[in-house]
C-alpha cells in the first residue's frame, strides 16, 4: 500500500510496501531540492536531488517528484525494506551561493 | 564511513567550561559546515567555510567560535554555553559551496550542557 498526504512527522509501512514521504517548501525562488536519510546514531546521508527544470527523477528504488505549482516535493521508496527505517529530510536551495534549508523530518518505520 | 570524522562523539560540560569539537574530512572537499540538530527542529546551519574562509555565520551566539585552519579541518570552540545549547552538532563537507546540495555529514558530536 501507499501513504500520501501532507507532511506527516511519522509514517509506518509494512515491508514490501511502497512509501511516499511528502515535503512542502516555502521559497518559490528555490530551484534545487534534495532528500536526505538519517539513520539512528548517524549523520544525514544524501539520497537524491532534483533541479527545478525537472519534475521527476529516479534512483535506485527511489523516485523524487517535484510540483512547483504547489511547491511540493515527494520521495517515493519502492518495496520498502527494514533498512529504510530512518528519518527523511527534504532540503531546498535558492540561488547559487546560498545555504541549504532543511525541512522537518519524517520518521519512516518499516515493520516485517 | 562518510569520509567525515567528528570527535568527540559525546561531550558533557558545565556552563563555565571551555571545550572544542573537531571535524576532519578526507574527501578533498573545499567547503565545510557546522550544523546544529535539536530534537523536533530542522537542522540549523551555523557556519560555512569555503576554501578556509568563513562565508556564512547564521547569527550564531559568540559563545560558539569556529576555526578552520585548512580545508580538511574544522573546529567549534565552546565557551560558557547554556543548557539550551545541548544538541547534536554535525559537521559536513561538500565539493564546493553553494552549488551542490550533496553534503557529506559526520556522525555528530552529542553535547550536553549541565
- What is the pLDDT, as a whole number, of residue A104? 86
Position A5 confidence tier, pLDDT thresholds 50, 70, 90: very low
In this predicted structure, the answer to whether residue A2 has a pLDDT above a threshold of 60 is no
Question: Is A22:A8 a contact under the CB 8 Å cutoff?
Answer: yes
Percent of chain A with pLDDT over 90: 74
On whether any CB of chain B is under 8 Å from the CB of A70, the answer is: no
- What pLDDT was estimated at residue A33? 94
Contact at 8 Å (CB) between A1 and A63?
no
pLDDT above 80 for A78: yes
Q: Does residue A6 carry a pLDDT above 60?
A: no
A34 chain-B contacts, CB cut-off 8 A: 101-102
User: Contact B101/A49, CB-based, under 8 Å?
Assistant: yes
The pLDDT profile of chain B, 114 residues, written as one tens digit per residue, is: 789 999 999 999 999 899 999 999 999 999 999 999 998 788 999 999 998 888 888 889 999 999 999 999 999 999 999 999 999 999 999 998 888 889 999 999 999 999
The residue whose grid cell reads 528555490 is: A30
Distance CA B54, CA B31 (A): 10
A96 touches B: beta carbon within 8 Å: yes
From B58, B99, B105, residue closest to A43, measured CB to CB = B105
The per-residue pLDDT of chain A, averaged, comes to 90
State residue A96's pLDDT score: 67
> What are the chain B neighbours of A98 within 8 Å (beta carbons)?
98
Whole-Å CA distances, B18 to A90, B45, B79, B85: 34, 22, 5, 14
Contact residues, chain A, for B2 at CB < 8 Å: 43, 45
Phi/psi for A8 (5° steps) reads -120, 140
Instruction: Say if strands A32-38 and A45-51 run parallel, antiparallel, or are unpaired.
Output: antiparallel
Report the distance separating Cα A81 and Cα B23, nearest Å: 32
Which phi and psi angles does A83 have, rounded to 5°? -70, -10
Interface contact B2-A96, CB threshold 8 A:
no
Residues of B in contact with A94 (CB under 8 A): none
Gap from A2 CA to chain B (nearest CA, Å): 25
pLDDT at A22 over 70: yes
Amino acid at each position: 500500500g501507499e501513504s500520501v498526504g501532507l507532511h506527516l512527522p511519522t509514517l509506518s509501512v509494512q515491508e514490501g510496501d511502497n512509501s511516499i514521504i511528502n515535503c512542502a517548501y516555502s521559497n518559490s525562488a528555490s530551484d534545487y531540492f534534495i532528500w536526505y536519510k538519517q539513520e539512528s546514531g548517524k549523520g544525514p546521508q544524501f539520497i537524491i536531488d532534483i533541479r527545478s527544470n525537472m519534475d521527476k527523477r529516479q534512483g535506485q528504488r527511489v523516485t523524487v517528484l517535484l510540483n512547483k505549482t504547489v511547491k511540493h516535493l515527494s520521495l517515493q521508496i519502492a518495496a520498502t525494506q527494514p533498512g529504510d527505517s530512518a528519518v527523511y529530510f527534504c532540503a531546498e536551495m535558492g540561488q547559487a551561493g546560498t545555504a541549504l534549508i532543511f525541512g522537518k523530518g519524517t520518521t519512516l518505520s518499516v515493520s516485517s | 564511513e562518510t569520509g567525515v570524522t567528528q570527535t568527540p562523539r559525546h561531550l558533557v560540560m558545565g556552563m563555565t567550561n571551555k571545550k572544542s569539537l573537531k571535524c576532519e574530512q578526507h574527501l578533498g572537499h573545499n567547503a565545510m559546515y557546522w550544523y546544529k540538530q535539536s530534537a523536533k527542529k530542522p537542522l540549523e546551519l551555523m557556519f560555512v567555510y569555503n576554501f578556509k574562509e568563513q562565508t556564512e555565520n547564521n547569527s550564531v551566539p559568540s559563545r560558539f567560535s569556529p576555526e578552520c585552519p585548512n580545508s580538511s579541518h574544522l573546529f567549534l570552540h565552546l565557551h560558557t554555553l547554556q543548557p539550551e545549547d545541548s544538541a547534536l552538532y554535525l559537521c559536513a563537507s561538500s565539493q564546493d559551496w553553494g552549488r551542490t546540495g550533496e553534503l557529506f555529514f559526520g556522525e555528530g558530536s552529542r553535547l550536553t550542557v549541565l
